[in-house]
Structure formats: C-alpha cells, structure tokens
Chains A and B, each alone.
Chain A
Amino acid sequence: DGGITQSPKYLFRKEGQNVTLSCEQNLNHDAMYWYRQDPGQGLRLIYYSQIVNDFQKGDIAEGYSVSREKKESFPLTVTSAQKNPTAFYLCASSIGTVGTEAFFGQGTRLTVV
C-alpha cells in the first residue's frame, strides 16, 4: 500500500535530549513537510523540502533540524533548543507542484518528561 509512515507513534524525551522523528513515504512524491499540532491551534509548518538535498524553514523552525538525503525520507530532529517540544507532529507529502493534494502520516506524539 502506498502511503506515509511515521515512527514512533509515541516518543518521550528527557530535558536536554535531542530526538529524531522518522517519516518515510512510498508515493514517489518530491515534496515533504513537517507540521506541529498543539491543542486549540491550527497546524503550523516547521520545515519543508521540495527536492532531495534541499529544504526550507517554515513558520516555526527554531529548535528543529531536518535532512533530505533520500526522496522517500525526511527525518525531523527536535533539539534541546526547542523550549516547548511537547506536541503532535505530522509529516506530509505531495507531488511537489503548486496546487497539488497533500497526504499525511498518522503522526508522532512527543512528550517531554
């Protein structure tokens, strides 16, 4: 089945730790995105990538880093510099041209303990 796989589903982070969220897609999409969802707020864009080896900051990139070494993979690292990392993280992909449909994974819930 084609789709977007995010792992793990739940992740716990201690203060001062970096953690990496995985996102893999087998839709052959060029563009991939990371969004953050907080209660009572709309989804906010963290980073996006339109092509391999290239990515751009979104609206809330501070404290996060990404890489795009393969077309199918777009991992997100939440660094210790992110002051409030507890949230639901969603990965998405699209064909990559403007105006095309976006598809989402099932999300990773990150909690700081």
Chain B
Amino acid sequence: KQEVTQIPAALSVPEGENLVLNCSFTDSAIYNLQWFRQDPGKGLTSLLLIQSSQREQTSGRLNASLDKSSGRSTLYIAASQPGDSATYLCAVEGGGSNYKLTFGKGTLLTVNP
C-alpha cells in the first residue's frame, strides 16, 4: 500500500527566505506526483505536476523535483512572501493505486513579514 510522508509538518520562516518542503513515498512505481496548496477552509490548488519520466518542473518561484527511484520529491520556494503562507500537500498516483491520488498530511508553512 502506497504511503506518503511530508516533512516537516510545520515550518515558520521570515519573509524573503528560500525554503524546501520534502515529500517521500514508499512505492516508486508511480505515474506522477502533484503538489497542491490549500488555504484555510478552502479547496486544493494545483501547483505543479511531475510525470514519472520527468526530474523537475518549475512555475514562477516554485520548483519541484522528483527522484522516483529513491521515492522522494522536494518543493523549493524562492524568496518566500507572506502570501505563500498555506498548507502544502504532496500526492502521488500509482504504486498500486491507479486513478487515485495518495496524499501526505501536508506541511503548514508560515511566512512572517
């Protein structure tokens, strides 16, 4: 059964700092990995999708990498801003669970002005 772990569970940084969020998964036979952002009481916003054949994806100040063989992904946020404060969720498709996403519990990020 696929399991996804996100470390740290919470992170507080000053504005302007670069930061890394970590995601690991137990079964490397995945189709893709997706990073989401969730604001309090809201739905999920898709940030980046990395296919299993890809190593990284970039969108603005966000860069996500994927090392499928080791079961790891990182989300790098450059020059963090208070508006980046949210919960970041990692999810994988595959590893025995086709057509559905297995989610980690998320990292709660707070960027202080």
What is A's interface to B at a CB cutoff of 8 Å?
4, 6, 31, 33, 35, 40-45, 48, 50, 58, 90, 92, 98-107, 109
Contacts and interface: CB of A to CB of B under 8 A. Distances in A.
A48 B42 contact: no
B34 interface: yes
B16 to A, nearest CB: 30
Grouping DSSP codes into helix (H, G, I), strand (E, B) and loop, the B interface class, with mixed when no group exceeds half, is strand
Interface of B: 4, 31-32, 34, 36, 41-46, 49, 51-52, 89, 91, 93-94, 98-106
Contacts of A48: 99-100
A6 B41 CA distance: 13
Given A107-B42, A107-B43, A109-B41, A99 B93 contact: yes
Contacts of B104: 42
A93 B105 CA distance: 21
Given A48-B99, A102-B34, A104-B36, A40 B44 contact: no
Given A40-B105, A42-B104, A109-B41, A101 B46 contact: yes
Nearest to B100: A45
Contact of B46 (A44, A99, A103, A106): A103
B62 to A, nearest CB: 15
